[in-house]
Structure 1
């Protein structure tokens, strides 16, 4: 296991930091005057404090105890809608663009829900990247720690989706190669930000080695750790890491596979069973494995299930889906991300787990009513 390097502050950095803690609006000129150093030197020390995670974003904001760090994908969502889909042919329709990516969506949704969020992700300095930066910043997310890639082969991530007349996915292509740059070196550079957070949320678009390193950074800390499964295949990256999580949010297919209840090859056959039988099988497996995190299992129109270990028993609770008329549904992209965000926001607001899950379900229901991947109306839930 790699030994983590502790980034200590120099005596001068400590002096600058103490002045900023006393007055977050203090100017560089005032700091220079108090410490009898040049303004350019002050700028250098502030840069060091920011890189080491002691300052966040603009305005010399010191790292708060209640901030949430989200690590994951950010990409541009390009969505084509076909009211009259014709398989194997060009279908008339229209195309929309919006900022997306599981990690980015969760971060924006949480900001809309009133949380202080820092997003750690990678984008390129292309026009897609510029759009992501501007829209994510405007939503209230701290984007000051984005990695801006200079590698020519790594362009800003793109999610290209084709949706039918009901807003359901027909097929998609997701180019997230740039996330290879979210590696142990990047996380080590952001170590202080991660370690001083109250909650860390990540998605499985990250490389498996990156997930391992992130959990290593969090291993001795008290922050709440939440993973979003993203997809069946990507969820497998969590298979030997579940013991390090507090919560795992995924759909039933993803949960069955990552727990090992079924294999990837058996997943299709498992879908032919009744929902009741599938949930009961997951419950029985969960009962025999006390080290598993608390599970929030999405089941679409059938709502969600919550599983947790309580003393010698297993708590299984079903939550009804929000009531939505079919004509209200615009599309389903981002619904799971909103559920994760609502759950996390509820936990941060000290709601009971039942109320936190209900908040997530409400956030998910609002999301499917919007063409945007993150519905601004989420702000009305808090």
Structure 2
């Protein structure tokens, strides 16, 4: 799907467009009064907005903007590192904090890749929430539509992780109860922001009812729709909804469980098939189920697979992961989010799918070389 390219606006045209976005039924006289200009001038600005592609036809129908809207999780990552991990015991190490959450990470990575991003999420007015707002805004993400709850009502989401000497996850606890606030009422309030975007991304930290409502809002709109599966268990929220997506970004375990190829309790640990056989099985299932979206499948050290369909022909492409010395790997948290962000940035910049996936792999590679969930060096990829 092609992203709409539209010309830049003058300051006065921006003011007129802001008023129309707030009230699509506003009259020229009302606009003239608010801006203290003549009605004929308003007519000229509206004509410019139409010719530049910001308004479509009559009735001030607002065209999709070249921005990405992301809905989903934002939380504080608290990570404990054990260079000499001892199972079942207290291990010496150190603890670090950083902003996290799948949707928030993708948003920050996209901002680093110079994309216009609006993040729809919920945080509390507690100190964790203030920290998330401050640090997310600082990198260029639009946080003006955050749902802010009282500290007494909810706590800001927290992801508490324990990592070993290789930076791999030993175990984690996430408290994302506040995301229930990203409900249908909240999303309905933000529908104009959603409906006028050129791309909608969401993660499965959202409630299933919220995912259904988002997809309903986006169904007939000219935007690209991408879901990030997050985890094996949460990926199941996408069951019976895949037909409404353009792309699904997930790892192989998540996709196999979501499609019913493997039971959840068998995922990742008890499978006897190698990666080649698993991909062949997935490719066969994909060819038999034409409603499925295109898939960007991360497979760790095996790289990334891209599964698509051109008319009746299914195509499976493999992108190798770059060789990285173990000494360069700091931790893997955020690598999948960076893959999604790089892919999206490529699409928004009108790169091919293959070039976009390669950009995602580069972003992911940079991420695992940093102790930060979002590596500031991503800006060097632009």
> 1:261 corresponds to which residue?
261
Aligned length: 341
> 1:90-109 maps to which residues of 2 (within 5 A)?
90-109=90-109
Cα distance in 2 for partners of 1:15, 1:355 equals 47
> 1:25-174 maps to which residues of 2 (within 5 A)?
31=34, 33-34=36-37, 65-150=65-150, 152-174=152-174
Cα distance in 2 for partners of 1:269, 1:335 equals 21
> 1:333 corresponds to which residue?
333
Cα distance in 1 for partners of 2:253, 2:243 equals 20
Cα distance in 2 for partners of 1:288, 1:82 equals 46
> 1:309-320 maps to which residues of 2 (within 5 A)?
309-320=309-320
Q: Tell me by how many angstroms 1:15 deviates.
A: 3.9
CA gap 1:285/1:349 in 2 versus in 1, 3 angstroms: same
**Contact residue 270 and residue 278 of structure 1 kept, 8 A:** no
> 1:196 corresponds to which residue?
196
> 1:223 corresponds to which residue?
223
Establish whether residue 275 from structure 1 lines up as the match of residue 275 from structure 2: yes
Cα distance in 1 for partners of 2:30, 2:225 equals 33
Q: Tell me by how many angstroms 1:13 deviates.
A: 9.1
What TM-score do the two structures reach when normalised by structure 2?
0.85
Q: Tell me by how many angstroms 1:111 deviates.
A: 0.6
Cα distance in 1 for partners of 2:98, 2:107 equals 15
**Contact residue 63 and residue 193 of structure 1 kept, 8 A:** no
CA gap 1:8/1:284 in 2 versus in 1, 3 angstroms: same
Q: Tell me by how many angstroms 1:355 deviates.
A: 0.5
Cα distance in 2 for partners of 1:341, 1:207 equals 22
> 2:324 corresponds to which residue?
324
Helix, strand or coil: the match of 2:372? coil
Cα distance in 2 for partners of 1:281, 1:154 equals 44
> 1:42 corresponds to which residue?
none
Cα distance in 2 for partners of 1:323, 1:146 equals 39
The two structures, once aligned, show a CA RMSD in angstroms of 2.1
> 2:26 corresponds to which residue?
11
Q: Tell me by how many angstroms 1:259 deviates.
A: 1.4
**Contact residue 125 and residue 151 of structure 2 kept, 8 A:** no
**Contact residue 70 and residue 119 of structure 2 kept, 8 A:** yes
> 1:302 corresponds to which residue?
302
What TM-score do the two structures reach when normalised by structure 1?
0.85
Q: Tell me by how many angstroms 1:87 deviates.
A: 1.0
Cα distance in 1 for partners of 2:297, 2:35 equals 54
Cα distance in 1 for partners of 2:187, 2:360 equals 28
CA gap 1:269/1:73 in 2 versus in 1, 3 angstroms: closer
Q: Tell me by how many angstroms 1:311 deviates.
A: 1.7
Cα distance in 2 for partners of 1:286, 1:70 equals 27
**Contact residue 80 and residue 95 of structure 2 kept, 8 A:** yes
Q: Deviations over 1:323-344 (max 9, x none)?
A: 2111011100000000000111
Unmatched 5+ residue regions in structure 1? 1-5, 20-30, 36-53, 55-61
**Contact residue 64 and residue 223 of structure 2 kept, 8 A:** no
